Amino acid sequence: MLKKILLLIAVMVPIVADAAKKPKKEEPIVHLTDEQIYEQLKKFALVFEAARDNFVEEVDEKKILEAAMNGMLGALDPHSSYLSADDFKEFSDKSQGEFGGLGIQITSDRGAVRVISPIDDTPAQRAGIKAGDYITHINGEQVFDLTLNQAVKKMKGRPGTKVKLTIVSDGAEPKTITLKRAIIKVKSVKFEEKKLADADEDAPSIGYVRISDFGATTAKELRDALESLEKKKVVGYVLDVRNNPGGYLTAAIDVADAFLDGGEIVSTRGRKKTDIERSFAKAGDMTGGKPVVVLINHGSASASEIVAGALQDNGRGLVMGSQSFGKGSVQQQKPFGDGTAIHITIARYYTPSGHSIQNEGITPDVEVLQSKLEVLERKESLYTEASFKNSLKNDATKKKKKSEDADDVEEENKNLTDAEKDAIDYQLQRGIDMVIAMSKLQSKVNEKSADNQSTEKSDIEKKSSEKNAGKQSGKKQSKKNKKQK
């Protein structure tokens, strides 16, 4: 995918011959002495002075120094960066659940800007931008010489203003789309009672919980959602974290804890072997042990993967969908007191079984790729008793309206209702299917257990009764013997 993008911009950006070579094997790290580090810092100062004094145009010292710090951190991994005062403020505002922009989570992928996930009900999501897409140009300017923060800044702006993005999707030609910026208000949790598409009124209902990101209010929103759904007597839950790019670690722990009655949720491990922190669930499953299916896809990252991994490894939930994104690293903000900060990777995430999420992600228990469902079998078979010539009629049955011919396909409606969207969401329908099946199985197991306990109790009472009867008989015989004497 990345090679295609590089080829697309090859005519615009000179590529040196070395870029085509295979990457060399990593050499062992050789640490510098304090004296050598000091010499390198002196060299850095000389480079700065030479750039400031000799560049053909007047130099913005602050800009090039910030770029140098960003480059230093960006050389470590795609998620470490320097945050200017404006960047740090935007990051804090976003974490609180409201910010301006397009509603898109991105990362750096070897110089390219790759979409982790669009956020629900935002300009990016409505424009059809998908997880895994690449952004090659912003307002006609190619992004390969921009830092991630610079790319983010170019996409942000005053609400109502427009921005053009050139998008490359896997297996498709590049397309340029125009989006209108908006205030992005992120409500982490949406929930409702759902049934299978076209299900009868008396069909069982499940609790559907959609978490779009893990923010400061997610845990409270989830508790409120589960309390409300439990009152509706749902038979189980579908927890949907598809295209959820992650967020706060504490929020992920609280979400997993709501479905668990104990056990490890996640461990974070730093550079040293002793740098291990483990998080455990507290007693009390808010759903009372009802079946849970977690829906994931390649846009589920970080905190989403923590929740899916915790429920999967503890045997609490069945994970369905496709392989997740694989972001298993922990970032921390380190403020400097002047409004600036650095965002730096300090550890890796591990699931309760000790599996590292980094670069691998969560493998679903049941792989269900998003598909378009096509009905191959009619609801009413063409070959029944009623299909025979001169068959007896059922007087009590009203004539049913003939179903439309299978070849008559309705024109695709872009303004689908929520129910229609649910019906064509193949992964969601299979998730609901699975929850209902698990609920039925759980009910049968509970009934059998109750029958066994009842039988055991009956046997115990019977034995006790026989024993008492034996004692009474023995007493009577003893009295009879005494009288005879």
Active site residues: 302, 313, 327
- Nearest CA to 287 out of 232, 366, 365 is that of 232
- β-bridge partners, 18: none
Which residues are within 8 A (CB) of 210 and not within 5 positions of it... i.e. 6 or more apart? 120, 189, 190, 191, 240
| Residue 168: φ, ψ to 5° | -120, 115
What are the distances in angstroms from CA 257 to CA 231, 295, 306? 20, 17, 11
Query: Do 318 and 294 meet the contact criterion of CB atoms below 8 Å apart?
Result: yes
| 3-state secondary structure labels for all residues of the chain | CHHHHHHHCCCCCCCCHHHHCCCCCCCCCCCCCHHHHHHHHHHHHHHHHHHHHHCCCCCCHHHHHHHHHHHHHHCCCCCCEEECHHHHHHHHHHHCCEEEECCEEEEEECCEEEEEEECCCCHHHHCCCCCCCEEEEECCEECCCCCHHHHHHHHCCCCCCEEEEEEECCCCCCEEEEEECEEEECCCEEEEEECCCCCCCCCCCEEEEEECCECCCHHHHHHHHHHHHHHCCCCCEEEECCCCCCECHHHHHHHHHHHCCCCEEEEEECCCCCCEEEEECCCCCCCCCCCEEEEECCCCCCHHHHHHHHHHHCCCCEEEECCCCCCCEEEEEEECCCCCEEEEEEEEEECCCCCECCCCCCCCCEECCCCCCCCCCCCCCCCCHHHCCCCCCCCCCCCCCCCCCCCCCCCCCCCCCHHHHHHHCHHHHHHHHHHHHHHHHHHHHHHHHHHHHHHHHHHHHHHHHHHHHHHHHHHHHHHHHHHHC
